[in-house]
Amino acid sequence: MKADQISEQFVPVALNGDAGNQPGMVSTFFRRVAKHFANEMAVVTPNGHLLSHDLDEGLKKWQALPEAQRRKLDDLGKFDGSFLPAPPQGGIVLQVYSRGLIRDKQGQLQVYKTEVARSLEAGRDHLWLTESEAKSLVPEQFAAKSPQPVAAPIVHRICRRYLIDLVRVGGNGGPRRPEEVLSGEMQVAVENIAGDEVRLRFAGSTRLATHDVGSGSQKNEAKIDDFQLLGYATYDRNKKQFTSFNLIAYSETGHYDEIHGKVLPLGVAFELSPAKTAADLAPPSSFSDSYFSD
């Protein structure tokens, strides 16, 4: 991908597969672009006219249009912003990366890549926590060294929506069903206090079931994966906010390469997102009305 050229000469916009189902402007726009436009990239006018799938050709065609036409926006209908939920006010956004891993001959973990495009990069997602959820992660007594349980809705959100095989060959897995979280707990403890900075340590474990045959389960037998969780965060008592947050979930068996029939380790990393760019603010892939409540 010519990242520099796209950044400088175009207005890059990335939309989900279901974007065309949105009523009003978005669906009208997509109907104009093409009868079928999915899993594709193209140079398009702001009014939805497809110029080219090639960057240079698209730019040439754009520049050949009269300036008045380039700058005029057609009325394509109402834009419904409710299809783009924003992160909760005062909450935190965590960037999530997921990766299939493999042990080399020495038993050391390495990045696992196959000929399948999906395996060539880390899987990505975002985790949202509300303000009250974020606050609940900080022990009320900063000096308390004994671990305290992390609120169950947070642990369940992590287990159901993020400890899934994001990099699975052949497709994305949706969130787990509640009953597929066989067990799960996480605790937080104050590890150190230096001035306003409180260093927290998270530790936990979960046992999860997968019933999808393409994800490694047998016809009548679920695939069971045990994940360990470990993390560290820094909370600024003065600013009343997290300044760092790093959590890792790891399972020896969490990744399934269905092309080669291999059960492999899976690692999932969570880290504080700067939440500044539009892409940082993209909703969690499994976001729904029940995201914060189930």
Partner 1 sequence: MFYRIIALFVLMVSIAGLLRADDKELTPQKFELLQRLIRPQQDESQWAAVPWLINLQDARERAAREDKPLFLWRSGGGDVLGRT
- Comparison of 52 and 241: residue with beta carbon closer to partner 1: 52
Q: Is 273 in the site for partner 1 (CB under 8 A)?
A: no
**Which stretch in 34-42, 136-144, 148-156, 179-187 sits in contact with partner 1 by CB under 8 A?**
34-42
Q: Is 288 in the site for partner 1 (CB under 8 A)?
A: no
Instruction: Sketch the per residue contact string, 38 through 57, with partner 1: x for CB under 8 A, - otherwise.
Output: xxxxxxxxxx---x---x--
Give the other-Cβ count within 10 Å of 217's Cβ. Answer: 16
**Residue 252, H or E segment:** strand 241-257
Write down the residue that tokens 């052949």 correspond to. 170
- Comparison of 72 and 145: residue with beta carbon closer to partner 1: 72
Candidates 26, 134, 163, 233: give the one binding partner 1 (CB under 8 A): 26
> Strand 92-103 vs strand 109-111: parallel, antiparallel, or unpaired?
antiparallel
For the CB of residue 138, give the shortest distance to partner 1 in the complex, in Å: 21
Candidates 31, 72, 177, 260: give the one binding partner 1 (CB under 8 A): 72
Distance CA 271, CA 262 (A): 28
Candidates 124, 156, 199, 262: give the one binding partner 1 (CB under 8 A): 124
Distance CA 204, CA 190 (A): 15
- Interacting residues with partner 1 between 192 and 231 (CB under 8 A): 228-230
Distance CA 242, CA 280 (A): 17
For the CB of residue 290, give the shortest distance to partner 1 in the complex, in Å: 17
- Interacting residues with partner 1 between 131 and 190 (CB under 8 A): 166, 172
DSSP string, 79-105: --GGGSPPPPTT-EEEEEEEEEEEE-T
234 in Cβ contact with 259 (< 8 Å): no
